[in-house]
Structure 1
Amino acid sequence: MKLRRDVFQAIADPTRRTIITLVAFQAMTPSAIAGNFDAARQTISKHIQILTECNILEQEQIGREIHYRLNPDGMKEIADFIEPFRKFWDGRFNRLESVMKRHQSKK
């Protein structure tokens, strides 16, 4: 049985987060992705492999080239984890806004 990498460890790396941002807007070849970094292409390929193993990136063969793009379904695990915290902080900020509005109206 092959263990899947932890998606949260994968996105903890700043290089991998940058790769996610790059391919979120358009599919890119490994060479195009690597062109955005001052690192060896082999190093960037390893980052791409980790993101692919976590289902954050998906690959598509177009002619001779492989293109990587963001897999929205792979990001769901991250979004599902973050959602309760987002709701919590939204509630806190809404209450703070109410307090501030009441304070401003008393002036």
Structure 2
Amino acid sequence: MDIATLSALAEPNRLRIVELLAYGPLTVGEIAERLRIRQPQVSKHLRVLLEAGLVDVQPDANRRHYRLRFDPLQQMDHWLGHYRKLWSERYDNLDEYLKKLQDH
């Protein structure tokens, strides 16, 4: 799990960009229009996402298409899997404890 991934996703507009790109590649202009933020801001956010390895860019004439890279997100899911297991075990233990209390 890379700290750069979490850091990049911590900013709300970058998270929204990632959510948009989950549906397919988009240009800076398309992202700006959908999020209703200025293109220079989108470009800055995309640069951070690119440096964190969350997006790839593919030039096409005078446009650049950004697409989501799923590897970092899969790594984050794997990392979170440990915590999901821990939480599940704790909830199971809580259920057992509550049942014991009800039986008394």
Q: Which TM-score bucket, shorter chain as reference?
A: 0.7 to 0.9
- What is the CA–CA distance in structure 2 between the aligned matches of 1:32 and 1:43, rounded to whole Å? 13
Retained in 2: the 8 A contact 1:27–1:68? yes
2:80 is matched with 82
Q: SS at 1:6's partner residue?
A: helix
From the superposition, tell whether residues 94 and 65 of structure 1 become closer, same or farther in structure 2 (CA, over 3 Å). Answer: farther
Task: Please tell me whether the aligned partners of residues 57 and 74 of structure 1 are also in contact (alpha carbons under 8 angstroms).
Answer: no
Q: Which residue of the partner structure matches residue 54 of structure 2?
A: 56
Query: Aligned equivalents of 2:42 and 2:76: distance in 1?
Result: 22
Count how many residue pairs are aligned between Structure 1 and Structure 2. 100
Q: Please report how far the alpha carbon of residue 96 of structure 1 lies from its aligned counterpart in structure 2 after TM superposition.
A: 4.4
Gaps of 5+ in 2: none
Q: TM-score, normalised by structure 2?
A: 0.77
Q: Which moved more, 1:44-53 or 1:61-70?
A: 61-70
Change (3 A) 1:69 1:94: farther
After TM superposition, the score normalised by the length of structure 1 is 0.75
Q: CA deviation digits over 1:6-41, x for unaligned, max 9? A: 222111111111100000111111111111223221
**What is the identity percentage for the equivalent residue pairs of Structure 1 and Structure 2?**
25
1:30–1:45 CA contact under 8 A, matched in 2: yes
Q: Secondary structure at the match of 1:60?
A: strand
C-alpha distance 98-68 of structure 1, shift in aligned 2 (>3 A) = farther
User: Per the alignment, do residues 89 and 30 of structure 1 end up closer, same or farther by CA in structure 2, a change over 3 Å counting?
Assistant: same
- Runs (5+) with no aligned partner, structure 1: none
